[in-house]
Amino acid sequence: MSKKIFITGTGTDVGKTFVTGLMMKKLNENKKKSAFYKAAMSGNERGADGNLIPGDAVFVKTMSGIAQPLSEMCPYVYEAAVSPHLASRIEENPIRMDIVRQGFDALCQKYDYVTMEGSGGILCPLCFDEVKLQLEDVIKELNLSCLLIADAGLGTINATTLTAAYMRSNNIPVKGIVFNRFRPGDILHEDNLKMCETMTGLKVLACVKNGDTELDISFDLLESLYESNIKRENSR
């Protein structure tokens, strides 16, 4: 049975795709058959053939070295560099849960590990027209637990604590935090780590520095973050 996890962040451009690439590289180096999946990607460029290139998927595939074809990685690829709900409206291609689920389930049948990445932060809407669809709906529909990616710099205490509190209040399991752009010995970054752990009750499982090519955690810890099925507590 496939094991999976959802990668979310405290906002846009905190390094979700970079950390995902490092995670999948470690899986691949340990001979695990793994796949990447993202419901929607916006802000993509067109290739010479005129077709949109799923930029995040290309990045993860290149960094990790996985064999998975790009065509499996994302059902909705948009050109407009805006939130997916707006890009889907502009390009008249609304995101549907059944299509997202179909692609995800197909990967779970084919691969041992599936890493799904979200768009933006946890409150990012995917569709907000006839049907309202948000990331948390996808997480719950696919029965996933999450890893929270946060920038190590100024402002992360508020962003990380609020994100963790929102997820906890909405019955979304969080396995831990990964700090990105971390500078060892930097008094701000070191204090942010301690404060985020204290205020969220979550462990910072790894710290990623600029230019890192490996995720500095053991393979056993990484593997333990992926789950086949999770049990959700009743919402308050």
175 an active-site residue? Answer: no
93/44 Cα distance (integer angstroms): 15
Among 38, 110, 175, 203, the active-site one is 38
Q: What are phi and psi of 136, to 5 degrees?
A: -65, -30
* Secondary structure (3-state) at 17: helix
Under 8 Å CB-to-CB from 168, ≥6 apart: which residues? 174
- Do 148 and 118 touch, CB atoms closer than 8 A? no
Q: How many CB atoms are located within 10 Å of the residue 42 CB?
A: 23
Q: How many CB atoms are located within 10 Å of the residue 48 CB?
A: 6
- Cα–Cα nearest to 23, from 63, 54, 57: 63
Q: What are phi and psi of 206, to 5 degrees?
A: -155, 150
CA separation, residue 170 to residues 55, 96, 224 (Å): 31, 22, 23
List the catalytic residues: 38
